[in-house]
Structure 1
Amino acid sequence: MKFNQLFLAAFHEPKKLAAFRLLPIGRVIRYAFLFILLMTLISFTRFSLRDADLFEATPELTEYSQTIGVLIYPMAFVSQFVIATFYVFVRISIFAAIGIWIGKAMGRRVEYRFIWRTTAIAITVPLLVTIFLDFFQFHETFSILFSSLIHIGYLSIALKYYPKAVK
């Protein structure tokens, strides 16, 4: 399945979202890394354009950045990529654990490895909402809470299509 098909199905096809649990883990991780790259590029662009609201620096940090000169850009890109990777994978893992609880409450047969894959694809809309809200300088707590509710919603809808637990 191509990435654009995964992307479109993640928006409005919960049955396919549940079926994505059967995808190879490599494809799911590559899909997650596309969003990590998108987040990194947006953050790096804002850093390069010196978005003052986003990056408030101390005088010492500003002086240090002038000392190292152009080397700050590759260091900033790499550090933003590492931070985005950590953020996305921790978020996927936490919501997969929440998905286990929701799945058990719904009486579905759930395994962490399958929930993790579904959660990784279901993060599409919440991450896009987070990026969108970040551009309009919404309160960070509101942004995280709102995107988390969307993520749980998508995950819950997909869990309805998981097989029922054997009793």
Structure 2
Amino acid sequence: HIVTDENGSKWIYIHRLKTKVECRIKLLDIPLKIMEKYKGEGTDGRLFYVPVTSSLCRSLKIIGEICGLDCHLTYYMARHTYATEVCLSNGVPIETISRMMGHSNIRTTQIYAEITNQKIRKDFKILSEKTKDWYSLPEDNMPSRVYRCGQYSGWKKECGRQKDGTTS
């Protein structure tokens, strides 16, 4: 399922077993290094050794203990972390993440990929920079607080209307 495109980039092209959704995942530097490190260890046409679920769970428990984590690590936590911390926090659109993860409905991805405060800050910084000179306030001497509706009539002048509603 590993394909090299015309630019020399390696991709995984698969249909997810559970949802039958086509999935295309670009292999980044670290996965490529892992593949190279464990090359030749796989059997049955696999790239490298894939442990059975019980063995994987046991390994994750050992890793959690070694790292001093107080939580129960799971395979699905890895998917969630990848979606949130690696992809979303670095600007990958949620639609792209949904396709990569093989979700048939984007709502599933929205549950997985919680928006982090870091992502919100980064997105608003970009928005702030893009819209910096788009808007301005008119120099109209409007009081800072307008309590009653209709107290400010400056907009009528700006629109070319008189107080009675007719145009000038």
**Interval of TM-score (by shorter of Structure 1 and Structure 2):** under 0.3
Which structure carries more strand by proportion?
A: 2
TM-score by length of 2: 0.21
TM-score by length of 1: 0.21
Which structure carries more helix by proportion?
A: 1
